[in-house]
Chains A and B, each alone.
Chain A
Amino acid sequence: MIGSPDVVAFTKEDGFAEVYKDPWMIPEEFSVPLFPHSGNGNPWTKTSYAKFTKDFILISEFSEQVGPQPLLTIPDESKVCGTFDLNYFSLRIMSVDYQASCVGHPPGCGYPKLNFVEDSKVVLGDSKEGAFAYVHHLTLYDLEARGFVRPFCMAYISADERKIMQQFIELSSEFSKASECLKTGNRKAFANELENKLKDLEYTRSVLHKETELQKMSNGCFSTQAIEKANELANVEKSIYEHKDLLKQITSYPNRKINDPEFLPYESGSPVDSADLGQEPTFREFNSEDQSEDHSIKQRPSYTPQLVKAKSAKCFDKRLKTLEELCDLYFFHQTMDQLRLIEKTFRGDLCYIYTSQIDQALLKKQKITNFLFEDSEWEEEEAEQQFCDGKQTMTNNLPPASILSVEPLSLDSYTSCVETVPIKLEPETNEDRIYGRELTEFSPCDLLQDNTDEGIDAEMKGSLSSGESIEVLGTEKSFKTQGPTVNSNSVANLQPSYPEVVRKKIFTRRTYSEDSIEILSTCESIIPEDLRPSYPSAIYEEELPVESCTDAVHSQTSMLNQAPGMLDECVDESGSNLQVESTCCIGKEDHIYKGSSPELAQECCANGVMKQEPQSDDQGDPTLQADFSLDQATFSEASPAGLPLYELNPNCLSDDVSRMNCDDLSDSTSFMSASTSSDRTYSPFLYGNPITVKHKKKFGQSALRFIRQYPFAQQAVFCLLSGRTLVVLGADEGTVRKLVNALSIFVPKIGKHGEAVKQWLSSPFQLTELLNWKLIGLHRVASPAGSSMVHSLSRYSRYISVLDIDHKTLRCPPYKGSLIGKMVDHHTQIKRGSTYFMHVQSMQTQLCSKAFLYTFCHHLHLPISADEDQDAVASRRTNFLHHQLRYGEDDCRIMQFLSELIKHHYLHGSSKGGTLPVFSFNYTTSFLHKP
């Protein structure tokens, strides 16, 4: 049945009802587009209607023969411009002479004057074409050109108008450099041209002079020919005068401009190309009076003068010089390089450029934490410079070198801070013996063979417990031997009336094979706190994990001095008092022991006060720096009123000493590494190139794959973030390297060249190398060499975690926190590696922020009152992490590790070679995780 609605569809509008017309309706042409971003408009398409695919640079000229014309584009690819009409756009941007000024013969002047016009900058657009441009107008000199000038412009063309205006200052600055370079080269070429022209004219004059003389001799003075020749000669004379004046003008430019405070002469960044191009290698504003310029002129190929007419005819059939010919070749190529750099810098989406600029500005304000995860080469250098400056200042206040000198470093010794006992390492000769002893003594499970022996941990799905349980507190022997010695020394050093440096050497040497550093004990007679005054940064006791005591799953974190070969402990004291506040503090390491314990702040709370902004006091207050290198052992009990001893005697030891030790030791570590294996060279894993965000973004894809593939990815990342070395074991080099790259984005303080990562290792590693390498790619080999590698893995299994990519297993401590879950989510829907890296980077920024807060939090690391003991301080710190930041035990460990790194960086600056300042390890039960 047909209803009225069906009929309506066939009716005409005007026949159905009269359309209402609003008398106030404005014509369509006056309609204003609705707000540009209303509705569901695509924010990415607003620039898509341009006829070119990406931003490019166009150089155009206003030719006196053909008018505005495009000369070249950067990049020089036809597809970049697409169907965009370069001729039309050149016409548009060059249609106005924005540098209109007097050129040629000014009134009252008989000969041409050069006018050194300033560059003009214009932003304009063609909304119809969707093209917007920053246009930099400049003028070059050409002896053949009308008025001696050739107007050019360099334009940065983009589809994004906002980008042009937002980056105006940067674009203007960069194009000014390019323009200055081009103009410098042009002035040089112009001067050369003038000189050659002068030579021609002088040659012509001499020829004419001879001819005139001949004419006079043959036809008399008043013959027509003689008069013509005389006139011609006069013209040449005049021309010579004019050209000399022009030469004078062009060469006077630099002197005049240099007086202008805003003039920034172009300085070549790399003079290397010059030699290749056969040009003068160095840039110098030339001057006829300048000796060096004369010298450079002499170096030029000799010019053969030619006979010229006095006035060159201006006609349209002559060929105008190309841009390349107008400019000295060296400067031309420099300009092109600069323009290519500009194109590279400003290409892409504005939001990334803008955020990058904001990031850089913000990173400048947080130099103290940038070293953890940021890629800031400039910033490191700057910080280093500041430290150097500070160091220089401090040198004057240093105690005599003889007092501060330390014992020669031994490469074959190793100081364990666990007991402050030097442990002799004999890597070459006793290696096998040690390995054997290690294996016998501790029966470490072979990661490759014992997997099947592991019991399944009910708590960890698919994970196996290694069953290892080790507790290390210290030996009674060492405690008894060393404790009192140091204490007495500390007491002696308390006296503020003894400003001299007192050095105390503590010799408690033993061989590695005789006394193990690992003491399996639950002995309650030795309380870690008792050890602290003597070995303040040595012991760190973690809370007992949930596992049973019979398994002795008593995790401990201890640390080893990173200094192999440091046999002596020196306790230095000197100096005058420094007013510092005790309420806001963090722990301070002594100059030899790089306090790495997560509880360090508790132990060394009496040693350091962070009361200044890092950047400022690094350079501004050398005494404060010196203060931080106090030996905490010496002063931990020193303050009678709860004040740290450094308040009484702050200049006990220079920061230089500790830094020197650190540097020396890292060198020796490298040396030792090199001596054992050629593979140990301290090489960055990207062939010496600094690791940049770009690299990390690429690694992000592999990282994303890893976290999706392996449910235990969180555990692996936990190891890296808590400072436990992760070894990636596999037979295939490519796979291992790829995974190491992927995991490298999580490594704190990776180093400028990735020094904390050993991408590929095919020989056993040493304990000392765990100082440097926090992520190692290890080659699994079936040969006899492979067995020694297995030994090294077994031997250090309590210090490292092993990710076996062949068997897809991970042996490491469990992780039960929540921090990493936000960063490493097995179920993440993030699609791209670069996006994932950005997410990781955000989370790392958050981590840095929390670690910074924890490190510098007010009233957190020192006793508030005199009667508050260390336990109370420790408890406050723990409460802070648990209740203020709401972190679980494992997350606390991450925070403590990062805090230690910050503290070390603050005190000592960036360690050379990327060596991590501390060696910390956990005697924690490891589990075998399977997918």
Chain B
Amino acid sequence: MSSGCPPQSPAVAKTEVVVEGESPLLAATFAYWDNILGPRVRHIWAPKTERPLLLSDGEITFLANHTLNGEILRSAECGAVDVKFFVLAEKGVIIVSLIFDGELKGDKNTCALSLILPQTQLAFYLPLHAVCVERLKHIIRKGRIWMKMGCSIVSVLTSEIVPIMELLSSMKTHSVPEDIDIKDTVLNDDDIGDSCHEDFLHKAISSHLQTCGCSMVVGSNPEKVNKIVRTLCLFLTPAERKCSRLCRAESSFRYDTGLFVQGLLKDSTGSFVLPFRQVLYSPYPTTHIDVDVNTRGGRGPDTVARADDTFTPDLNVFQDVMHRDTLVKSFLDEVFLLKPGLGLRSTFLAQFLLLLHRRALTLLKYIEDETQKGKKPFRSLRSLKTDLDLTEEGDLNIVMAMAEKLKAGLHSFVFGKSFYTSVQERDVLMSF
């Protein structure tokens, strides 16, 4: 870190956040453009640590002010939240800034909410960037209304910055590795029914793929949970794996919106309180897998469920997997025919994933051709199914989910309804 930065402005409030383990985050800041004084830092959040901080408050202030430089030229639409991302090698830091407009003391100001991390955490942070940004954008929208009402935005921001700090900290210790050893997964079993019921596994993976690879695995035994987590992560890309989290053995993490796969531990009473609203905020629908039910009673069909399309708090937001597929079924039928421990199954898995990715891209291209890149409505779903050999509903859902990740909005364009489970944010904002 460089030194010799100008001293911090006198009245910068600071919140020290107690984070378990080592926090990769150096600080978070809220700054605004004062119409008289220029960039000013209003609040700093920093992890509480006994070790000396890598950045002094003065340096943090300097960096936070830096993020607002040039924003005097900003001509964004009202309500827009723009993201800036800095890798400042000279300072040895990376900064993520969300720039927005807000009312402070009756004046409209340009504001910046920033996260500051050491540059060494670049590879760690990048896969989580989208998760952090989406969550911060969400809280900023809430905060803008708060500001309009004349209240301080800081408390609103704190409600999300602290969980994000905890998330980043937990990902340092419990993230799923980029390369998963198939030996740590169910796919290393001698036979398909060894670890869990055959139908359970099929439904879990099928639903996992149909929900764009977004799943939560709940159970009482952390080893079992993590084995399923790793198994599901086999079907993700390396970047998505870095955005997945294993279950902690001692006590459960809280559910975090936006992760692809996360393992969650039940408490001593055998229950896990699921924040449904948080689940519905997730950018993709989520598969819910209860490992215990399967283990205890082998009730595969009831243990895998998927978040519903509409937000109905009084009803069960998860639905049982409706559509069966042939893709996952045949894969599971066949992969166990290969001898474990030789790498043959890894190769077979890679072929399966390649097939899914290619079929997804083909489907995307097919729709692109048919609709002239969305200029015409898509009316040939029947032909698509026949031409691309996707006559099974489950197969279509899996490939469509893969395509959705490639081209966001494709599902709703084709089917005319939102693919997403989340309650519309307007409703959320109105009700909070």
Contact = CB atoms under 8 A, between A and B. Distances in A.
A614 B344 CA distance: 8
Given A46-B409, A615-B343, A834-B365, A358 B424 contact: no
A355 B357 contact: yes
Interface stretch (B155-163, B205-213, B331-339): B331-339
Contacts of B380: 829
Contacts of A612: 342-343
Interface stretch (A96-104, A191-199, A506-514, A515-523): A96-104
Nearest to A161: B83
B358 A42 contact: no
A152 to B, nearest CB: 16
B412 A355 contact: no
Contacts of A312: none
Interface string A24-41: 101101111111111111
A126 B83 CA distance: 9
A908 interface: no
Contacts of B70: 92, 95-96
A401 interface: no
Contact of A98 (B82, B88, B366): B88
A125 B75 CA distance: 11
Main secondary structure of the interface of B (DSSP, over half): helix
A35 B351 contact: no
A832 B365 CA distance: 9
Contacts of B77: 127-128
Contacts of A72: none
Contacts of A828: 387
Contacts of B310: none
Contacts of A123: 83-86
A739 B76 CA distance: 54
B105 interface: no
Contacts of A845: 351, 354-355, 358
A95 B73 contact: yes
Contacts of B361: 351-352, 355, 838
Interface residues of B, number: 88
Interface string A360-396: 0111011011000000000000000000000000000
B69 A36 contact: no
A45 interface: yes
Contacts of B75: 126, 128
A354 B360 CA distance: 12
Interface string B387-398: 111000000000
Contacts of B333: 884
Contacts of B386: 825, 829
A793 to B, nearest CB: 35
A40 to B, nearest CB: 6
B354 A43 contact: no
A816 interface: no
Contacts of B84: 122-125
Contact of B369 (A40, A100, A835): A835
Contacts of A44: 368, 373-374, 407
A838 B362 contact: yes
Contacts of A856: 338-339, 344
Contacts of B338: 853, 856-858
Given A118-B89, A853-B334, A37 B409 contact: yes
Given A37-B418, A43-B408, A351-B406, A829 B383 contact: yes
Q: Among the interface residues A583, A841, A845, which one has the most CB atoms of the partner chain B within 10 A?
A: A845
Interface stretch (A164-172, A527-535, A571-579): A164-172
B76 A43 contact: no
Q: Among the interface residues A45, A119, A366, which one has the most CB atoms of the partner chain B within 10 A?
A: A366
A30 B143 CA distance: 10
Contacts of A614: 343, 347
Contacts of A42: 373-375, 409, 413
A120 B90 contact: yes
B264 to A, nearest CB: 25
B425 A37 contact: no
B431 to A, nearest CB: 9
B32 interface: no
B260 interface: no
B413 A40 contact: yes
Interface in B311-356: 333-334, 337-339, 342-344, 346-348, 350-355
Contacts of A893: none
A366 B351 contact: yes
Contact of A842 (B362, B369, B410): B362
A124 B82 CA distance: 8
Contact of B429 (A26, A128, A613): A26
A721 B40 CA distance: 69
Contact of A832 (B369, B374, B375): B369
Contacts of A32: 79, 141, 425-426, 429
Contacts of B418: 35, 37-39
B135 interface: no
A831 interface: yes
Contacts of A846: 355
Contact of A838 (B78, B86, B350, B365): B365
A402 interface: no
Q: Among the interface residues B77, B353, B362, B411, which one has the most CB atoms of the partner chain A within 10 A?
A: B362
Nearest to A829: B383
Nearest to B133: A165
Interface in B126-157: 126, 129-130, 141, 144-145, 148
B197 to A, nearest CB: 21
Given A127-B80, A829-B387, A852-B348, A165 B148 contact: no
A119 B352 contact: no
B45 interface: no
Contacts of A101: 2, 90
B342 A613 contact: yes
B346 A34 contact: no
Contact of A43 (B89, B366, B374): B374
A365 B347 contact: yes
B359 A122 contact: no
Contact of A351 (B66, B144, B407, B419): B407
A26 B147 CA distance: 12
B388 A849 contact: no
A828 B84 CA distance: 46
A121 interface: yes
B31 to A, nearest CB: 14
A46 B373 CA distance: 11
Nearest to A616: B343
B387 A825 contact: yes
Nearest to A849: B351
B377 interface: yes
Nearest to A885: B334
A41 B338 CA distance: 45
The 6 A-B residue pairs with the shortest CB-CB distance in the complex, in nearest-first order = A613-B343, A37-B409, A42-B374, A118-B89, A43-B409, A95-B70
Interface of A: 24, 26-27, 29-46, 91-92, 95-96, 98-101, 117-128, 161, 165, 168-169, 172, 350-352, 354-355, 358-359, 361-363, 365-366, 368-369, 583-584, 610-616, 822, 825, 828-832, 834-835, 838-839, 841-843, 845-846, 848-849, 852-853, 856-858, 860, 884
Given A41-B412, A830-B369, 15 more contacts: A30-B141, A32-B429, A37-B419, A38-B420, A96-B69, A98-B66, A120-B86, A122-B86, A126-B82, A128-B75, A362-B354, A368-B347, A611-B342, A830-B366, A839-B366
Interface of B: 2, 66, 69-70, 73, 75-80, 82-90, 123, 126, 129-130, 141, 144-145, 148, 237-238, 333-334, 337-339, 342-344, 346-348, 350-355, 357-362, 364-366, 368-370, 373-375, 377, 380, 383-384, 386-389, 406-413, 416, 418-420, 422, 424-426, 429-430
14 contacts: A31-B79, A41-B412, A43-B409, A45-B374, A101-B2, A124-B82, A124-B84, A127-B76, A351-B364, A366-B354, A584-B339, A613-B346, A835-B366, A843-B389
